[in-house]
Amino acid sequence: MKIFSVVLLSLFLLPVSLVAQNIENIRSYMSGNNVIVSYDIKGGKFYNYYTISLYVSRDGCKTWEGPLKEVSGSVGDNLRRGLHQITWNVMKESPFVEQSFVFDIRAKVYEEPMKKSFFVSYVGNTNAYLGLMFGMIGKVGWYGEVRGNLLSFSFPDYTYANGEITDYDQAGYYVFTDGKGYSLFSALAGLTFQAGRNVFFYTGIGYGWDRYLYEITNYIYEDDQSTGTYNVVHGDYNLQGFEIDAGVMYRYKMLLFSAGATTLNFKNVGWTVGIGFAF
């Protein structure tokens, strides 16, 4: 009857191609006629994959045998970061009497080519509920974005401040109607960056405006006839200029979800959400 044992000591050697990665927590133990070797691959990038080989030494690391053939589990090509386990059928590959083993896990790292995809999404928020975002996602991509609403291109004729229309120049008098609301518009462009297998960040700059408008109707005194309807912007809610946009996108198969924030002249912050498709 052959008796065998394993010294529960595992070493690892890192080849030059695995500088930025670590193989850690290497453990080995007997399970029937098999030796189980577990290990963690840590570090690296989400687009790295690894080829793993298992070697063994019977003479205290003076010489090495391998790569071992009668192995299964997390060995070979296309392995990713995380916890792994290798099973070695020691009696099938190398019958032996009582011996001590030291294991060496050797790894090579490769970069998976990052594929770029075109995307198009609906994007908006409560006030700017009409929006379109489009572009390219990949390791580094780009995007363009426009947002607005039905009042986006309703431009103000006058300004309301301190309880009155300060620059009113019509003959007659005016009456406020029930028409009022936000006039918002944004046009931006920027870059996308892949942060994970299905996670992307985006950031961009552009131009926009955020105005709160009232509607008035002008009348003449003689017969109270209307001479026209005009837009009046509230002086305290009248922003336009430089806009910054940033957020995150998550891809699930062909669906693309996004959430972000935008600020106009660094004076207000708005939140946006979106859903679309990546091709």
What is the mean pLDDT of the segment spanning 188-216? 96
Scored b (16 or more CB within 10 A) or e, 80-119 reads ebeebebbbbbeeebeeeeeebbbbbbbebeeeeeeebeb
Tell whether the model's pLDDT for residue 25 goes beyond 90.
no
Which domains, from first to last, does the chain contain?
10-111 (2.60.40), 117-278 (2.40.160)
Which spans in the chain are helix H?
90-93
pTM of the shown model: 0.73
Backbone conformation region of residue 127, classed left if phi is above 0, alpha if psi is from -120 to 50, else beta: alpha
Residue-level pLDDT at 97: 53
State pLDDT tens for residues 86-115.
999 988 887 665 667 888 888 888 888 888
d(CA 238, CA 155): 11
Picking from 68, 159, 58, the residue whose alpha carbon sits closest to that of residue 99 is 58
